Structure 1
Amino acid sequence: MKRILMIAYHFPPVQGSSGVQRTLRFARYLPEFGWEPIILTAHTRAYENTTPDQLADVPAGTVVVRAPAWDTARHLAIGGRYPGFLARPDRWLTWWLGAVPTGLGLIRKYAPAAIWSTYPIATAHSIAATLHARSGLPWIADFRDPMAQDDYPEDPATWESFARIERRAIEQASLSVFTTPSALELYRERYPRRTDSLALLENGYDEETFTNAAAGEPLHPGKLTLLHSGIVYPSERDPTHLIAALARLKASAPAIYGRLRIRFRAPVHADLLYALAQRHGVDDVIETCPSIDYRDALAEMMRADGLLVLQAANCNAQIPAKLYEYFRAGRPIVALTDPAGDTAVTCRSAGISAIARLDDEAAIAGCLERFCTDPAAGTLATAAAIAGASRRGRTAELARMLDATVLRAAA
């Protein structure tokens, strides 16, 4: 059994990030494929919100070490203000100070064969880069999202720090993996001399957690409820045109409008949603709900009449991790996203055609009307798409990549 040191900020009991599933499920299934994970994460005080509901999913006996870390905005600010350099590349810069000596101690104690780190939280790649440089171990850099983008981060100094960390990761890591085809292609174009060290490793769903998540009664008996599970970002998942489309539907097809409900589970920006809904006079069909435990969220997906995807064109190289959970939930899916983006491509390849641009009010209204008329028309993922997206299968891919990387390093 080979060991791998996995550096991840998002790990139970953190709450509010779907990214926790990637590391957690890899850690759960890697031993089946000959790899024992050693988890290096952040002290729980660094997490703004926590929940114990997924701690039981960490396999018994797994070594999980929490290095000292603070959140600059919450722990180091005075009067709500703090120097910018204390939050570059991110607010968890202090994690590097605690994780490097902790990581070196783990390397001495457990002799891992490789290092793995996952972004976003850019500091994770900084930690891995330092440990790689000091230990000589092969490094696999995991990019759940692209890093330095044309319009992100907005602050020039932060953008420079992202670009510097990204460049170091791509150039020094033995392998860099990406979750979407467009992100992979973007980095192949950006780093043409490193194309052989870049690979695709998509997100997925965990069959085990779905098996234990019981479905129940419809969310609103007698109504059709579309559920959006997760954060509604004001830019990347801008709900403005969706809310305007509801007003259009209310005026053109009031009977259909009256059957519809849209539930936003843990959207974070509930005030934005309600302000938009009140402005357009559609607050009677909008509801926002607080965070719930992970398995309860999966069960809610299975109870919904339909599942809603929001993804703006500025995220065409990204796919919401929950899309694969939507597939497995087996419910109709309505995708409001750019038809040219990876989210839409993935939906179409799964047999889903209920797609409208997130910024096209008329197209969204038409999509909602078709859903209300025939919820199953063009909205269901194929059995093949569902079977191909399991976390266990993705972990088998990762294990093959790790085996090949370690073999090359030893040659």
Structure 2
Amino acid sequence: MVRKVLMVAYHFPPLRGSSGIQRTLKFSSYLPDCGWEPIVLTAHPRAYESVSSDQMGDISPRVTVSRAFAFDTARHLAVFRRYPRLLALPDRWVSWLAGAIPAGLSLVRRHRPDVIWSTYPIATAHLIGWALHRLTGLPWVADMRDPMTDDDYPSDRLTRSVFRWIENLTVRSADAVICTTPGAVEDYRRRFPGVPATRFRLIENGYDEEVFSAVLPKQGTAAEDHRTDKRFTLLHSGIIYPSERDPSALFAALGKLRAEGMVNAGSFRLVLRATAHDDHLRPMLQANGIADLVDLAPPCPYREALGEMLNADGLLLLQAANCNRQVPAKLYEYLRARRPVLALTDPAGDTASTLLHAGAGTIARLDDADAIRVALIDFIKHAKSGSVPVLSEASAQAFSRRARTRELAAVLDACLRPNKLALSMELGDEKPLS
């Protein structure tokens, strides 16, 4: 018997510029193969700051998509770039709540889903999931991905208070809470000791093998053959958050290497693709004297971005220590691209752990310019010689989104078991799931 899941997700095509799109997009594409029919409840495209049609064709014809009323407070209600703060809590898309609840109830009446699933990092999505759960009595799975709050996140105290309220509501109300890293699961179990530990489940991010197969070089050719630029190219693909992925130390290290004659514009380039913060980065490049070493490249279609990864000499990750319980979604695409990875991150964090367990990548702290300088020279040397370890193609398959979707289907299946006490005991917890 085919079961149905109502998926509440802000990140969905035609939104452009976020790797978070892939999680919902691919779950919805592969769930039918696991016996689940997805109905996606997302936001009207007007709410998206940047749109592109390049992934609209990736939405499976087996997926029903409903786009509810929503707008972006910062763009649609601002006067001289100022807007009422209360109209942007918990986030700038809180208007989606007003459109999505009636739309969701209509979808429930029409399609009779068995489970509701909602996904962060837009906090409003979990408010919608909670409201539909309370109004319909359907089981609710909250895809938390990363922890919603930390001691200093969000940085604004009022926003942090609202996020903590939503986080508490979600953790205590949902039938299952899914995280993308072991550190996030551990963090939630520690912070909510009264909640059954089995409520927190791990489903990591991944990559899509079908899309990679479409952009991989034809057998018998090499990706490098298609490049006319023979400079060593180090690529960072995606958003660079000024705090969580601060490149200051990297830029300082490049400045030192430039002054020492170790790198120059004729032999090296760093491509920062779709940073979303180019205006913030340009003065930093100028201050370090490396503007001609770094290309601030615009967003491009998803498949083109994957092709660029396959052609790069090295792939760059940036992740600060305050994100130790997070792993950038692009890491799994980097691993599948099987190119050398330079990870500027805390060696004690989940990002470094994932790389170490995969046996791939070079690691240095994001905030240590001297360590980055040494690591970068070593990385370039070994990448050129082909001695940087990369994941085997067979090993990479474990990170595929098809495999992740089977894990999600198992969680959805568990929510439908009639005897939750028996399920809880089976999973090793003495308390019944509530």
TM-score class, shorter = over 0.9
Residue 258 of structure 1, CA deviation: 5.2
What runs of 5+ residues in structure 1 fail to find an aligned partner? none
Distance 1:334 1:297, change over 3 A: same
Report if the CA contact (8 A) 2:359-2:391 is conserved. yes
Residue 220 of structure 1, CA deviation: 5.7
Distance in 1 separating the partners of 2:259 and 2:172: 56
Equivalenced residue count is 411
Distance in 1 separating the partners of 2:252 and 2:338: 28
Q: What residue number does 1:146 align with?
A: 147
Distance 1:124 1:110, change over 3 A: same
Q: What residue number does 1:107 align with?
A: 108
Cα deviation code 1:267-301 (max 9, x no counterpart): 12223333222212222211111000000000000
Report if the CA contact (8 A) 2:181-2:325 is conserved. yes
Q: Within 5 A, what are the aligned runs for 1:287-366?
A: 287-366=295-374
Q: What residue number does 2:3 align with?
A: 2
Q: What residue number does 1:221 align with?
A: 229
Residue 218 of structure 1, CA deviation: 5.6
Distance in 2 separating the partners of 1:220 and 1:356: 30
Residue 366 of structure 1, CA deviation: 1.0
Distance 1:4 1:225, change over 3 A: same
Q: What residue number does 1:399 align with?
A: 409
Alignment of 1:87 with 2:88, yes or no, is yes
Report SS of the residue matched to 1:18.
coil
Q: What residue number does 1:58 align with?
A: 59
Deviates more, 1:70-79 or 1:215-224: 215-224
Report if the CA contact (8 A) 2:265-2:292 is conserved. no
Distance in 2 separating the partners of 1:408 and 1:247: 62
Q: Within 5 A, what are the aligned runs for 1:131-210?
A: 131-194=132-195, 195-210=197-212
Alignment of 1:239 with 2:247, yes or no, is yes
The one-letter amino acid paired with 2:238 is G
Distance in 2 separating the partners of 1:409 and 1:5: 22
Q: Which consecutive segments of 4 or more residues in structure 1 shift more than 6 A?
A: none
Distance in 1 separating the partners of 2:183 and 2:226: 36
Distance in 2 separating the partners of 1:236 and 1:65: 33
Report SS of the residue matched to 2:7.
strand
Deviates more, 1:124-133 or 1:74-83: 74-83
Distance in 1 separating the partners of 2:228 and 2:291: 16
Distance 1:338 1:105, change over 3 A: same
Report SS of the residue matched to 2:399.
coil
Residue 384 of structure 1, CA deviation: 5.1
Alignment of 1:67 with 2:75, yes or no, is no
Report if the CA contact (8 A) 1:307-1:326 is conserved. yes
Report if the CA contact (8 A) 1:228-1:263 is conserved. yes
Identity over aligned residues, as a percent? 52
Report if the CA contact (8 A) 1:219-1:304 is conserved. no
The one-letter amino acid paired with 2:272 is F
Report SS of the residue matched to 2:55.
helix
Residue 193 of structure 1, CA deviation: 2.1
Q: What residue number does 1:127 align with?
A: 128
Report if the CA contact (8 A) 1:224-1:305 is conserved. yes
Distance 1:199 1:95, change over 3 A: same
Q: What residue number does 2:426 align with?
A: none
The one-letter amino acid paired with 2:50 is N
Which of 293, 297, 316 is the aligned partner of 1:285?
293
Distance 1:82 1:256, change over 3 A: closer
Distance in 1 separating the partners of 2:264 and 2:389: 18
Residue 109 of structure 1, CA deviation: 0.8
Residue 259 of structure 1, CA deviation: 2.3
Distance in 1 separating the partners of 2:36 and 2:274: 35
What runs of 5+ residues in structure 2 fail to find an aligned partner? 218-222, 422-434
Distance 1:126 1:390, change over 3 A: same
Report SS of the residue matched to 1:388.
helix
Distance in 2 separating the partners of 1:131 and 1:305: 48
Report SS of the residue matched to 1:264.
strand
Deviates more, 1:275-284 or 1:125-134: 275-284
Which of 378, 382, 386 is the aligned partner of 2:396?
386
Residue 257 of structure 1, CA deviation: 7.8
Distance 1:369 1:94, change over 3 A: same
Aligned residues: CA RMSD = 1.6
Residue 84 of structure 1, CA deviation: 1.0
Report if the CA contact (8 A) 1:214-1:299 is conserved. yes
